[in-house]
Structure 1
Amino acid sequence: MADRTAEVRAGMLLVATPQLLDPNFVDTVVLMLDVDEGGALGVVLNRPSGIPVAEVLETWGEIASEPEVLFRGGPVSTEGALAVGLLRDQDDVPVGFREVDGPLGLLDLDTPVELVTGTLAGMRVFAGYAGWGADQLAAEIDEGSWYVVPGEAVDVFRLDPGELWRDVLRRQPGELAWHSTRPADPELN
């Protein structure tokens, strides 16, 4: 079996296929944040919660992108939070920012918000994350659970992430774009 995780790198998206029935991931789009031989880590981009960021992380609510709510990043460590930010200027990197892919990176939420204010074009906070062991993600890709596609910064900071799954597939080349129009229940087709 070829190593399918070789095609996955930080900044790319995993888009759930219709075969993926795990309720944590049905119709999700996952931004990959870290991928190496030890495993992979990402956050689900299209599962907003109703909880305002300011309710949990008071000072960060001011700079969170709309909707200013926590997103359910995945089933692992849901009591913790990860912040993904987009730099306004790649030459003005704030303290506590770690690059993931170009201007997209992780923010250390222990950093005083004043040191970050004005440096970001977008910021989103995720409760929990999605994680895979060394060979687990490769096996899921091989079994057809995920489409692996390039990501765009706008995917992370959409005002309404409800159509993200379809929109990401729609912009893909060839037959992959056709999947964007599949009905939720294929029996209805």
Structure 2
Amino acid sequence: MDPAPGRLLVASPTLADPNFARTIVLLLDAGDDGALGVVLNRPTSLEVAEVLAGWDSVVDGPGVLFQGGPVETDSALGVASVAGTDSEDGEPLGWRRVFGSTGLVDLDAPIELMAEAVSALRIFAGYAGWSAGQLEDEIAEGAWYVVAAEPEDPFRVDPSDLWAEVLRRQGGVLAMMATMPVEPGLN
């Protein structure tokens, strides 16, 4: 499967980069110029209310920022699910579709406006980014598996087992990867 907005990048069990070891990245943009996404399974201990007052009332549990990736960690991206967005006409102002009912929220939009439209929201500090051809090279080297996302993936209350769960639902060899120990040599 090719990288595209709305797909997941699943880190190979052998990916040693500490920024991405055993992570799941939701691709928000991918094309000839590169790719951008957010890590779904790295919650921080920093409460949303401490950084983006008001948005904490819209965020689904846990009410913390998630480490979206190693790039621009002092910036924030909002990923939200919006009910009733089957057509382009029904999209709320300040929201851009990525896949299905999941998209990016403009965190500068009025909170009151978004709170009415949003059914789930997660806020990420920073993002993961790849230059043109870089992600494709990493996929070819076996660092990432590209798989389809499910609507609930970005919004799990407890994302600690998301990496293994996404691998298991793929079946076959990828499902077996979910059981690979962190340190195979210590097994």
Residue 77 of structure 2 corresponds to: 82
Q: Structure 2 length as normaliser, TM-score? A: 0.95
Please give the per-residue CA displacement for 1:57-102, whole angstroms capped at 9, x wherever unaligned: 0010100010010000000000000000001111642210011112
Distance in 1 between the 2:155 and 2:91 partners?
19
Q: Note if 1:130 corresponds to 2:125.
A: no
Secondary structure of 2:137's match? helix
Distance in 2 between the 1:18 and 1:103 partners?
30
Residue 55 of structure 2 corresponds to: 60
Partner residue of 2:173 out of 166, 172, 175? 175
Q: CA shift at 1:18, angstroms? A: 1.9
Identity fraction in percent: 53
Residue 163 of structure 2 corresponds to: 165
Aligned pair count reads 184
Instruction: Within 5 Å, give how 1:8-157 maps onto structure 2.
Output: 8-90=3-85, 92-157=90-155
Distance in 2 between the 1:145 and 1:162 partners?
20
Secondary structure of 1:177's match? helix
Paired residue type of 2:97: E
Gaps of 5+ in 2: none
**After the TM superposition, which parts of structure 1 deviate over 6 Å for at least 4 consecutive aligned residues?**
none
Distance in 2 between the 1:137 and 1:19 partners?
16
Gaps of 5+ in 1: 1-5
